[in-house]
Amino acid sequence: MESYDVVIIGAGHNGLVCASYLLKAGYTVLLLEARSVPGGAATTEEALRDEAPGFKFNLCAIDHEFIHLGPVVEELELQKYGLEYLFCDPVVFCPHPDGKYFLGHQSIEKTCAEIARYSDRDAQKYAEFTDYWQRVTSAIAPLFNAPPQSIVDILGNYRLENLQNALSVVGGVNKTLDWLRNMITSPEDILNEWFDSEFLKAPLARLAAELGTPPSQKTTAIGAMMMSLRHNPGMARPKGGTGALTQALLKLVKSKGGVVLCDQPVQQVLIDDNHRAVGVKVLGGKEYRANKGVISNIDAQRLFLQMVDSSALDSADPNLEERLKRRIVNNNETILKIDCALSEVPRFEAFNHQDEYLIGTVLIADSVAHVEQAHALAQMGQIPDSDPSLYLDVPTVLDPSMAPFGKHTLWIEFFAPYQIAGAEGTGFNGTGWTDELKNKVADRVIDKLADYAPNIKQAIIARRVESPAELGARLGADKGNYYHIDMTLDQMIFLRPLPEIANYTTPIKGLFLTGAGTHPGGSISGMPGRNCARVFMNSQQPFSHKVKDLINYLKSVV
Ligand SMILES: Cc1cc2nc3c(=O)[nH]c(=O)nc-3n(C[C@H](O)[C@H](O)[C@H](O)COP(=O)(O)OP(=O)(O)OC[C@H]3O[C@@H](n4cnc5c(N)ncnc54)[C@H](O)[C@@H]3O)c2cc1C
């Protein structure tokens, strides 16, 4: 049997980040990936090779913000392995039905000047609002970059600036209570409190709803942070597409002797008589031995309920199976993904079209109510396609290398239900989705875009439409949830995915968790991978690791 120190289930970007840290520390690592390409929701693929050769598509993630809130890119020196980030500016363009438009630049001042064309009050409020969320971000980012139950790690991440910002947010009883209220209220309430103009509130609500919840949902107001992140640290895309991040990680992993095997879906975690994870078995029966640990890049529900023998789980923690089944919330909302090869960019002629407006994200969000409908209906199993709200990018404006000369690509994210209500047991995997339905919905989405960019239909050379059911199957994600589990406050930090398995460890010795379903959650950040690697290494050499940490911390503050 092939044997390694660590076997990682899944080569998503978090699995690869985790592997990179472990390899750098001298462990031998094997990553087993179910798909024929590694990267999970972080790939760039020539997905329309027959109809539109030479066009490269980000099949999932495209806009990277959270990774710039942590040290992964610098610590792993990913630029040495070919990663180059291109920062977007402008960062958001949202045309409004009344002819106004919101144009967000990386500079707050320039953004305020755009808002002031329509409302001086909202422009001034925008500066204050952004300042508040940037201070909140600075106060909590150190928590993102540490295992959530490791006080020493968390405290060690705080620098003077973070502490000052934390004090400015929670210094004093009233400020603290106000901050608490902001954490438990909804994006809609926060936006109504600060702003008057719909042309501004609608795109901010649309970005907040990227958490996968409607803007009215209480406890998700932190989604307001999504726009402030685009100012600082900024929003960037790897040159060549998101897959370039995966490629850089792969180069690093391989250069350190790591092994990545594709088309190897893991079926079972092997657990010995001492209740310790000692390896995995893949489809076809081959087994791989893990001498020091097995790390899962897939969600806890699939891991424990499908890959761990139930008697082993029961003897490790008799309550865990029930809690995984019933306590974890994974709502019904996911994405219908549309990728198009274009002969020219969509032109927003009625909105002072400039190609540079398309460098960042284009949002079709007519009002907060429009965004509400897009997410609330999806959660109820209905397709919100009577008046679609969209998040789209034209990546080739920033990075022409992703299409043949002069041509473009279009990336559209349309929130949609995984399971269509009333269609249970039909279509792909019983979800109700069929080829005919997904194409009908895609036509409506393109029709809506054509209301703003009338040239879009004749610009499409070819398109690829992936239903939520197909996306879920491709990613191996439960109900197509690309955050593995919901990103609501009740499942964050030391509650993610459940308190007893929130620190990347599990009741089964030698079995660890990483990935979007662990702290601090989904999106391209690499933080779950890095944090998990820390916990794993700590479990191997607890004392020497702590001493090394202490020395590093003292060096950094002196
Ligand atoms: C359409 C879409 C758009 C998105 N846009 C953005 C964006 O713009 N910005 C952003 O920050 N985030 C975005 N996200 C979210 C982000 O991509 C994910 O949250 C993130 O990539 C998750 O990374 P991960 O490594 O934790 O997990 P994953 O990428 O899900 O990786 C898990 C890996 O495990 C593999 N696997 C599954 N089962 C098995 C098995 N049995 N055996 C072996 N391997 C297995 C999978 O194939 C996969 O490679 C988007 C997601 C989607 C779907």
* pLDDT for 36 beyond 70: yes
User: How many whole angstroms separate alpha carbon 424 and alpha carbon 60?
Assistant: 26
The residue nearest atom 2 of ligand 1, judged by CA position, is 60
DSSP bridge partners of 103: 93
Sorting pLDDT into bands at 50, 70 and 90, what band is 558? low
> In this structure, are 293 and 338 located in the same domain?
no
Beta strands 259-261 and 460-466, pairing class = unpaired
User: How many whole angstroms separate alpha carbon 376 and alpha carbon 220?
Assistant: 14
Residue 66 domain-assigned (yes or no): no
Ligand 1 site: residues with CB under 6 angstroms?
A: 9-15, 32-35, 40-42, 60-64, 66, 265-266, 297-298, 335, 337, 413, 471, 475-477, 482-483, 515-516, 522-524
Model pTM score? 0.96
The residue nearest atom 7 of ligand 1, judged by CA position, is 61
Counting atoms of ligand 1 from 1, which one is nearest the CA of 524?
A: 11
Percentage of residues in the chain with pLDDT exceeding 70?
97
Beta strands 57-58 and 92-95, pairing class = unpaired
> In this structure, are 368 and 450 located in the same domain?
yes
**Quick one: pLDDT at residue 331?**
87
Residue 538 domain-assigned (yes or no): yes
**Quick one: pLDDT at residue 545?**
67
Probe ligand 1: pick from 16, 524, 532, max atoms within 8 Å of CB? 524
What mean pLDDT comes out for the span 264-281?
Answer: 97
Q: Final residue of a domain: which of 460, 478, 496?
A: 478
User: What distance in angstroms lies between residue 483's CA and the mean position of ligand 1's atoms?
Assistant: 7
User: How many whole angstroms separate alpha carbon 458 and alpha carbon 460?
Assistant: 6
* pLDDT for 434 beyond 80: yes
**Quick one: pLDDT at residue 276?**
96
Sorting pLDDT into bands at 50, 70 and 90, what band is 547? confident
pLDDT in tens, 447-465: 999 999 999 999 999 999 9
Average pLDDT, the chain: 96
**Quick one: pLDDT at residue 218?**
95
> In this structure, are 229 and 245 located in the same domain?
no
**Quick one: pLDDT at residue 244?**
98
Probe ligand 1: pick from 482, 492, 525, max atoms within 8 Å of CB? 482
Q: Which residues of 482-517 are buried (b: 16+ CB within 10 A; e: fewer)?
A: bbbbbbbbebbbeebbbeebbbbbbbbbbbbbbbbb
Give the chain's domain count: 3
Backbone torsions φ then ψ of 97, nearest 5 degrees: -60, -25
User: How many whole angstroms separate alpha carbon 69 and alpha carbon 167?
Assistant: 19
Sorting pLDDT into bands at 50, 70 and 90, what band is 553? low
Residue 100 domain-assigned (yes or no): no
What mean pLDDT comes out for the span 267-272?
Answer: 97
Residue 50 domain-assigned (yes or no): no
Residue 111 domain-assigned (yes or no): yes
What mean pLDDT comes out for the span 7-21?
Answer: 98
**Quick one: pLDDT at residue 541?**
83
Angle (CA) 80-84-90 rounded to 5° is 160
User: What distance in angstroms lies between residue 468's CA and the mean position of ligand 1's atoms?
Assistant: 14
Residue at 364: amino acid letter: I
**Quick one: pLDDT at residue 1?**
84
User: What distance in angstroms lies between residue 368's CA and the mean position of ligand 1's atoms?
Assistant: 28
* pLDDT for 152 beyond 90: no
User: What distance in angstroms lies between residue 204's CA and the mean position of ligand 1's atoms?
Assistant: 24
Q: Are the C-beta atoms of 268 and 103 separated by less than 8 Å?
A: no
> In this structure, are 341 and 467 located in the same domain?
yes
pLDDT in tens, 395-417: 999 999 999 999 999 999 999 99
Q: How far is CA 159 from CA 173, 530, 547, in A?
A: 23, 19, 20
**Quick one: pLDDT at residue 343?**
98
Residue 59 domain-assigned (yes or no): no
Sheet holding 460-466, edge to edge: 101-104, 92-95, 361-364, 390-393, 408-417, 333-342, 460-466
DSSP bridge partners of 6: 29, 293
Residue 500 domain-assigned (yes or no): yes
User: How many whole angstroms separate alpha carbon 546 and alpha carbon 413?
Assistant: 43
The more confident residue out of 70 and 477 is: 70
What mean pLDDT comes out for the span 219-227?
Answer: 93
**Quick one: pLDDT at residue 134?**
97
> In this structure, are 190 and 146 located in the same domain?
yes
Backbone torsions φ then ψ of 466, nearest 5 degrees: -120, 120
> In this structure, are 403 and 269 located in the same domain?
no
The more confident residue out of 270 and 478 is: 270
What mean pLDDT comes out for the span 196-207?
Answer: 98
Comparing CA positions, the residue from 138, 106, 102, 137 lying closest to residue 123 is 102
User: What distance in angstroms lies between residue 475's CA and the mean position of ligand 1's atoms?
Assistant: 6
pLDDT in tens, 339-389: 999 999 999 999 999 999 999 999 999 999 999 999 999 999 999 999 999
Structure tokens given for 531: 């944090």
**Quick one: pLDDT at residue 133?**
96
The DSSP 8-state label assigned to residue 523 in this structure reads S
CATH of the domain at 550: 3.50.50.60
pLDDT in tens, 174-195: 999 999 999 999 999 999 999 9
> In this structure, are 147 and 189 located in the same domain?
yes
**SS3 at position 333:** strand
Torsional class of 311: left (φ above 0), alpha (ψ -120 to 50), beta (otherwise)? alpha
Counting atoms of ligand 1 from 1, which one is nearest the CA of 474?
A: 47
Sorting pLDDT into bands at 50, 70 and 90, what band is 131? very high
* pLDDT for 555 beyond 80: no
> In this structure, are 282 and 385 located in the same domain?
no
Helix, strand and coil in the chain, % to nearest 5 = 45, 20, 35
Beta strands 333-342 and 408-417, pairing class = antiparallel
> In this structure, are 154 and 257 located in the same domain?
no
DSSP bridge partners of 92: 104, 361
* pLDDT for 551 beyond 90: no
Q: Are the C-beta atoms of 1 and 209 separated by less than 8 Å?
A: no
What mean pLDDT comes out for the span 104-116?
Answer: 98
* pLDDT for 19 beyond 80: yes
Q: Final residue of a domain: which of 234, 258, 289?
A: 234
> In this structure, are 214 and 285 located in the same domain?
no
* pLDDT for 240 beyond 90: yes
User: What distance in angstroms lies between residue 12's CA and the mean position of ligand 1's atoms?
Assistant: 6
> In this structure, are 160 and 293 located in the same domain?
no
**SS3 at position 554:** helix
Q: Final residue of a domain: which of 448, 478, 508?
A: 478
* pLDDT for 24 beyond 70: yes
> In this structure, are 378 and 466 located in the same domain?
yes
Residue 63 domain-assigned (yes or no): no
User: How many whole angstroms separate alpha carbon 261 and alpha carbon 176?
Assistant: 49
CB neighbours of 89 closer than 8 A, spacing ≥ 6?
Answer: 105, 106, 107, 234, 359, 360
What mean pLDDT comes out for the span 302-319?
Answer: 96
What mean pLDDT comes out for the span 157-184?
Answer: 94
Q: 388 lies in which domain range?
A: 331-478
User: How many whole angstroms separate alpha carbon 369 and alpha carbon 442?
Assistant: 22
